[in-house]
A and B are shown apart, each in its own frame.
Chain A
Amino acid sequence: MSTATPEAAGASDVPIIEISNLNKWFGAFHVLRDISLSVAAQERVVICGPSGSGKSTLIRCINRLEDHQEGSIVVDGTPLTRNIKNIDLVRRDIGMVFQQFNLFPHLTILQNCTLGPIWVRKMPRQAAEEIALKFLERVQILDQSAKYPGQLSGGQQQRAAIARALCMEPRVMLFDEPTSALDPEMIKEVLDVMTGLAESGMTMLIVSHEMGFAAQVADRMIFMDDGQIVEENTPDAFFNNPQSDRTKLFLSQILRH
């Protein structure tokens, strides 16, 4: 339940993501307020909070799908600035899984997976396909590799999206509500894949409302509201002894049913 898993013990103290005093506005709306967060290699951080609290925006800033106005984000030693070279470097190190999968519908599952390795890592096609097949097997959709995304179920599509991100052999994986768009019976298969990934020692930042899953894999829980980090704690303390009133309210609302 807590940080006592063997992988967590192996988590190093070197931060792989270092965010300090991050501020972001959408027009006049102050969406991220003075966020500082440091994530160690092999650490699993689950971020939760009510909708509109800025949690998705926060992780989208980490691979620069959103830019920020103040503060700094350093990923694996590379500061995120307007410099396109740095952005490219950071994106190579970070894999991302979206709520809506964002698979490319005009490419087969295999082609979805080999696109990055071939065009970004400049890998020969054959080597890229070997890697892709390895990860498709790991997420257990090897038999779907020749199909197009539209022919797969939601759960299969999300697992394909995870495989696509893994094919770039990233050092960090970002998950933006990966199960929110899934039918209930498909959530487990995606969470199982993510649990396996956590056990293999991947650094993960997960925005999710799956509290059972969070309690199981997280090293650290973060609760955000109104663009701020309201509470940050071990899962054990977070679920059993939340400190702030907002956290208590949120947990009571989300855990009641």
Chain B
Amino acid sequence: MFFRDQSEMLPPRAAPITEVGLVGWLRINLFSSYANAALTLVSLTLLLLVVPPFIDWVLIKAQFSGDSGEACSGIGACWAWVDQRLGQFFYGFYPAEAHWRVNVTAILLVPAILYVLVDNLPGAKFGRWYSYVYPLLAAYLLVGGFGLEVIQTDKFGGFMLNMVVGLTGIVLSLPIGVLLALGRQSRLPVIRLLCIAFIEAVRGVPLITLLFVAIVLLQLFLPPQVSLDQLLRVIIMVTLFASAYMAEVVRGGLQAIPKGQIEGAQAVGLGYWQTMRLIVLPQALRISIPGIVNTFIGLFKDTTLVIIIGLFDLLGHARLLQTNPDWIGDVDHEAYLFSAAVFFLVCFLMSRYSVSLEKQLSKDRH
């Protein structure tokens, strides 16, 4: 009665279509419950309402040529300004005959960034040094001197200005932030108090206030014959501002490192700086990557505040264009949309890099 003899083994069958393939994917991701199905339908409706008209406006009905706003119909987007003004959006008022200097600087930037971000590139040892030297090279190319015509920093503008302020701030704010974070945990009361005072003072004030201080007040404290370059002041303030935030992000990482790690390093005989550089910071910074990149992104967007010292960055040129008599009233959305797209692209790349770095690092360890 309980005897059973299955003479043929069952072969595996294909999974039901509700589990695999397109149908399976839709079921699992979009229609897994009634509530999710409802949300999916609402989202789809919204997308249908928004996306086709947007594409219609931005591309299909758009006007791409013409000398002024009159060329544009008003039904679609007006991109006619692009070929006249794109140069200004990227170079600002940097002299046209010297645009090549900006271009060369930008091209040289690519390997400098790659050697920092990507491991195991060919010639990595030389590449690291190149990355260290690059800022000097860039400063020389952009400002001039030693045979190159000097171009005052008040000629800097457009997206190039955002990049100069943003990259300098990014490169400097991380090491300064790390030092502030270490100082805040120092056993020496003077150092600890100074670091806490700096961090809290800078974090407690809006960046725009710091920039006004840099422009208006700083000169009062400096001897009259000393005149710090305006752009330099902005870079210093943006860097210090980001450093204070960076210090707190890094401090969070430092606090996550067990005390035993420091004791292990001490027991091996490592000194304070060796312990920090070889043991604590590699682990603390790894944990802090999302916060660090978040600060970088914030800093990069804050570079638009250079407008308050009368420099015109990408956003500044977008606004200039809107007030130009030839284009007034016709390009408001387009100019902002263009600036937003450029900023988004850069920030999104930073964000993606941080995600891939986190993945790579967590793979290394386990």
Interface residues of A (CB under 8 A from B): 63-65, 84, 88, 91-92, 94-96, 98, 100, 102-106, 115-116, 119-120, 148, 150-151, 161, 164-165, 168
Contacts and interface: CB of A to CB of B under 8 A. Distances in A.
Given A100-B260, A148-B365, A165 B270 contact: no
29 contacts: A65-B263, A65-B267, A84-B271, A91-B266, A91-B267, A94-B267, A96-B267, A98-B263, A98-B267, A102-B260, A102-B263, A102-B264, A103-B264, A104-B261, A105-B283, A106-B283, A106-B286, A106-B365, A115-B278, A116-B268, A116-B269, A119-B270, A120-B269, A148-B365, A150-B366, A151-B366, A161-B264, A165-B268, A168-B268
B274 interface: yes
A103 B269 CA distance: 14
A95 B269 CA distance: 9
Q: Which 4 A-B pairs have the closest CB atoms?
A: A102-B264, A96-B267, A120-B269, A116-B268
Contact of B365 (A88, A91, A102, A105): A105
Contact of A120 (B264, B268, B283): B268
Most B-side CB within 10 Å, residue of A96, A102, A168:
A102
B202 interface: no
B365 A95 contact: no
Contact of B366 (A65, A94, A148, A161): A148
Interface in B265-311: 265-271, 274, 278-279, 282-283, 286
A119 B274 contact: yes
A161 B271 CA distance: 19
Nearest to B267: A96
In which size bucket is the chain B interface? 20 to 34
A63 B270 CA distance: 12
Given A105-B283, A106-B282, A106-B283, A98 B268 contact: no
Given A105-B283, A106-B286, A119-B274, A164 B268 contact: yes
Interface of B: 258, 260-261, 263-271, 274, 278-279, 282-283, 286, 364-366
DSSP class of B's interface residues: helix, strand, loop or mixed?
helix
Contacts of A96: 267
A148 B278 CA distance: 16
Contacts of B263: 65, 98, 102
Nearest to A118: B278
B360 to A, nearest CB: 13
Most B-side CB within 10 Å, residue of A65, A151, A165, A168:
A65
B188 to A, nearest CB: 13
Contacts of A148: 364-366
Contact of A88 (B258, B260, B269, B278): B269
Given A119-B274, A150-B366, A168 B264 contact: no
Contacts of A92: 269
Contacts of A168: 268-269
A98 B260 CA distance: 8
Contacts of B260: 98, 100, 102
Contacts of B282: 106
A102 B279 CA distance: 11
Contacts of A150: 365-366
Given A65-B267, A148-B365, 7 more contacts: A64-B266, A65-B263, A102-B261, A102-B264, A103-B264, A104-B279, A106-B286
Contacts of A84: 271
A164 B283 CA distance: 19
Most A-side CB within 10 Å, residue of B261, B264, B268, B282:
B268
A108 B90 CA distance: 46
A91 B366 contact: no
B361 to A, nearest CB: 9
A195 B150 CA distance: 74
B288 to A, nearest CB: 14
Nearest to B265: A104
Nearest to A104: B279
A91 B272 CA distance: 13
Nearest to B364: A148
B171 to A, nearest CB: 24
Given A104-B261, A104-B279, A105-B283, A63 B267 contact: yes
Contacts of A88: 269, 271
Contacts of A116: 268-270
A102 B263 CA distance: 8
